Every structure is written in structure tokens, then in C-alpha cells.
Amino acid sequence: MSDLADQQVLFEHTRRPEWGLAVLTNEDRTHRYFQFQDGELRTIKDGYYHLIVPTQRPAADVDKARAELGELLRKSESRDRVSEKAKSEGKSQISVHDQVTLFKKLFPAGFEDPAYLEKVRGLPAEGGRNGGPDAARAIALELLSEERLRGLLAADGFSEIYEAIISGLQASEIVSSSSDIRPLRRVPDEERPGVCRAFVELLHGPGDIGPRFDAFRAAVDGAEGGRATWPMITVLLGLLYPDAHYCVKPSVFRQQARFLMPETEYEPAPSAAGYQLYKAMADDLRERIVKAGLQPKDNLDVYGFIFETMRPGLKEQYAALGH
């Protein structure tokens, strides 16, 4: 069903154009089931079928919708297979609905809850490290602005750039000193200029993020003693551009992907292709939690949602929800 034929009719709801176009996925004696472009699978009861009509939108819009609907159906079918397998094995499968329910239980006022703001957003960066996103972002903006970094590049100030990278990473609680910072410290002085140039382009270069992501990873991995990690590459991107990028902590992002993209294989090593998958997953999640009534301020809140609902030690809380 996820492969939509070119001739397959697409529909739209005459009173809900904001839902986008839809494909009929199933029907029985009293109901028809439609997958809509906004991501929702909706049931239309007999007696209301007249509200769903074949679309008359331009061919370009229909082709775009057909591709989007095919991808939505593929993901839905994948989740169904994983859910059925979990049930057959006597295991529970956590859904976004479960995550939202737990998050609202932990933080009744959502992202504006005082406990959330204090615990997640407002954790201070004491001693220059291990702070929440707001404190870490303030440090990153001060140390890693494009004007400052390009000025240092022009002056061959590579040691200052390198220490700014490390200080920016240390400011975030997402980053591990041993796993994410120590590999940078092991890079010999003579190889650090290349890492610095790639880093400045990663944060502030033109064009698509993919080549810049892989260029920085290659610069670190290619240096003696260097080893790129997900937080090393993504945390400062996410702090400086919280409306466009995400801080990736692979342990919790992989947990999230088990439901939203359960049959997608992820390589442990960071890559631009892997980042695009994680980003697509997180964008999808953001849309889902907004529809569920939560209002993230930015992608740092989306990360906060993922971490607070996917971190280790939540088994009892989910059990209380019926899992």
C-alpha cells in the first residue's frame, strides 16, 4: 500500500483543506479510512462520505502529495509491523501518545512548567561546563559567532578557535568529557588548523549542511588521535541554530527512532546521511507533539522532550501508564 500508483485517486476533505490530500487505505461496511498529508489517519463514517471528494488540485500538487503519502504509509506500516512483533513477544511498545502523556505528568504546564524550566532549560553552566541549553547557548553565542571565528581564522588564531570549540562543548550537559572532548584534545597541534577551518564552515559555511557535516567529521577522524562523535558535531549546531538543527545524543535518539522509524538502520558513527534521518525524525516528532497540545519554543525543547521521555530509568513510570 505504501507504493502509490500514479493513477491512484487522491481525495480531500471539503471542509478541512488544511488536512491536505488523502489516500483511501481501507474500508468496511460503515467506515472508510484515509491517510492525510498532515500525518493523521482518519476514519470517516458512512453518512459523511460526501465530504471526501476526489481532488481537483494541480498535477504538481498531486504528485507531491502522492510521494508524501507513500512515505507516511511506509512509516505507518513499519510501525505496525514492529508493534505486532512486540505484542507477539509480550513486550510493550511506547508511542508518541505515551510520551506526551508521561511528559504532561512530569511537567503539567508543558514546556512552560516551572519544574521543566528549572530542571531542563535553566540548569546553570557552573564552572563553564555542564549547563542546560539556555546557559550553554549563551556561551556558544559569545565564543562561536561567525564574526569572531572568521576574524580568528584571518589572524591564524587556531589555538583560540580550538579552545573555543572545547569550551562551547563543555558548557553543555549533553557532552561527555571522556567520549566527546578527549578525542579533540588528543589531536596534535599541527593538525588542529584543518579541524578549525572545517569547524568554522560547519557552523557558518554556505550551502547544504551535508557536505559541511562530513567535512568536519573527516577532519577530526583523519587527525591523529581524533574521533568524531555525534555530540561533538551536532551540539554546537543545535545551540547556535535551535530553529534549524538538533543536538543529537545517540542513545536517546535511537530509542526515539525505535518507534518513529523502527526499521531504519542507524550507523553508530556520525554522518550527514544519518543526521538527515535523525533530523527528519525529530521534525516529525515536533509536529506530532504540537498536535498533541505541547508548544516547544525551539528544537532544544524537542531534545528536552526526547530526553525526558526516552532516558533510562522510566520503566516504572511507563508501567503506570499501562505499559
Are residues 84 and 204 both part of a single domain?
no
323 located within any domain: no
Set of cell numbers at residue 215: 567535512
Long-range contact pairs involving 72-79 (C-beta distance under 8 Å, separation at least 24): 72/35, 72/37, 72/39, 73/1, 73/2, 73/4, 73/23, 73/25, 73/35, 74/2, 75/260, 75/261, 76/35, 76/41, 77/1, 77/2, 78/261, 78/262, 78/263, 79/259, 79/260, 79/262
Are residues 258 and 152 both part of a single domain?
yes
251 located within any domain: yes
103 located within any domain: no
97 located within any domain: no
DSSP state of 12: E
Are residues 68 and 117 both part of a single domain?
no
3 located within any domain: no
Last residue of a domain, one of 54, 88, 122: 88
pLDDT of 267 reads 77
> What pTM was computed for the model?
0.75
16 located within any domain: yes
189 located within any domain: yes
At 137-160, the pLDDT tens digits run 999 999 999 999 999 999 999 999
Are residues 83 and 222 both part of a single domain?
no
Are residues 71 and 153 both part of a single domain?
no
For 16-71, give the DSSP string: -GGG-EEEEEEE-SSEEEEEETTS-EEEEETT-GGGEEE----HHHHHHHHHHHHH
pLDDT of 200 reads 98
pLDDT of 263 reads 63
pLDDT of 8 reads 81
Residues of the chain with pLDDT under 50: 1-2, 86, 90-91, 128-129
Are residues 77 and 182 both part of a single domain?
no
Are residues 138 and 185 both part of a single domain?
yes
Element at 11 (helix H, strand E): strand 11-13
Domain count, the chain: 2
pLDDT of 60 reads 92
pLDDT of 313 reads 85
Are residues 284 and 167 both part of a single domain?
yes
320 located within any domain: no
Last residue of a domain, one of 56, 88, 120: 88
Q: Which domain holds residue 278?
A: 111-310
Are residues 132 and 166 both part of a single domain?
yes
pLDDT of 92 reads 56
